[in-house]
Amino acid sequence: MNVGREKELENLVEALIRMLGKSNERVNDLNKRVNQLEVILRESILQGCNPIQAGEEAKTSPNYTS
């Protein structure tokens, strides 16, 4: 294998690693949002109130992160 081909493969592997890292970040962000939604829904059910009101209250909750 020549040096040019090795460099190409190295660049490809690095690009794939970066893509995987970005994908993992998006999954983590999605997971955070799902957790926030679960908190809002739980609070709205427990309080027997409108989910929009619960969403506003959830922003002040210690579990809320934006």
Q: What is the dihedral of CA 8, 9, 12, 18, to 10 degrees?
A: -120
pLDDT band for 10, please (50, 70, 90 cuts): very high
Region label for 12, one of left (φ > 0), alpha (ψ between -120 and 50) or beta (otherwise)? alpha
CB count within 10 Å of CB 58 equals 19
| Predicted model pTM | 0.55
41-60: pLDDT as tens digits: 998 888 876 555 545 555 55
Separation CA 27–CA 60 (nearest Å): 24
Q: Where are the domains of the chain?
A: 3-58
